[in-house]
Amino acid sequence: MAGLHEEVQQVWAHNFDREIKLIESLLPRFRYVAVDTEFPGTVHEPALPSYMLSAERRFSLLKANVDELELIQLGLMMFDMGCRLPDLCGATRYVREFNFREFDVRRPRHAPESIAMLRNKGVDFDLTHEDGIDAAVFGPRLRKWLRAGVITFSGGYDLAYMVKMMFGAGYKLLATAVEFERVAKVLLQRKLFDVKEMARYCPSDLRGRLESIVGKLKVARAVREVH
């Protein structure tokens, strides 16, 4: 594996067909995908700290935000059971970042601090709105890719936005957490792994943010900075 390096492959409407053909050619061997999403923050906030809310209240806030807002980006990394990424017989292994057109930063409903953070990380909101992928085209492909095994970190919002995208335009999340979980299990064939939840059951203290966990495990960041 010496000499290999990782890069982020940006996926837009113009190169989407090429990238999905490549991904689907790799799926038989690289059956696990790690995902992360970027969205316009949250516009519905609780009156109390999160730890004081019931599970149903937390879900109702998640539902309100996801129903109203649109996904901006979805990052996807493929790997096999040995945690190897596809290198396509070259020196570069790609992590893909899908950009979507539905979010319009000129709309009033978004969290300004989240938009500012993404701008600082290089997201061009005019470009995503003009040249991004149509979520209605992406959703059916995503549904196929996620049937093997999906890895997230504190992935409630990630999962909710992916479910929304898989069902298509106009879809609203189901009313309760129990109903949502039932649908998600069917879509993912019960193969969802949330690293934050898994870390709680590890012998050593691995609780905390993702940066904290990878630091304790001495895992080096392979591709640029966070986000």
Inform me whether the pLDDT recorded for 180 exceeds 90: yes
pLDDT band of 114, cuts 50, 70, 90? very high
Inform me whether the pLDDT recorded for 70 exceeds 60: yes
Inform me whether the pLDDT recorded for 8 exceeds 50: yes
Q: Can you name the residues that pair with 92 across neighbouring β-strands?
A: 5
pLDDT band of 1, cuts 50, 70, 90? very low
Residues 94-115 have a mean pLDDT of 92
At a CB cut-off of 8 Å and minimum separation 6, what does 144 contact? 24
How do the domains of the chain map onto residue ranges? Answer: 5-194
Rounded distance between C-alpha atoms, residue 134 and residue 155, angstroms: 23
Inform me whether the pLDDT recorded for 128 exceeds 70: yes
| Tokens 């061009």 found at | 124
Which residue blocks in the chain are alpha helix, DSSP H? 16-26, 55-68, 112-120, 125-131, 135-145, 156-167, 177-188, 195-199, 210-216
Helix (H) or strand (E) holding 109: none
Rounded distance between C-alpha atoms, residue 65 and residue 161, angstroms: 10
End-to-end CA distance of the chain: 25
Right CATH for 5-194 from 2.60.120.10, 2.170.120.20, 3.30.420.10, 2.60.120.310: 3.30.420.10
Rounded distance between C-alpha atoms, residue 184 and residue 180, angstroms: 6
User: What is the pTM for the complete model shown?
Assistant: 0.89
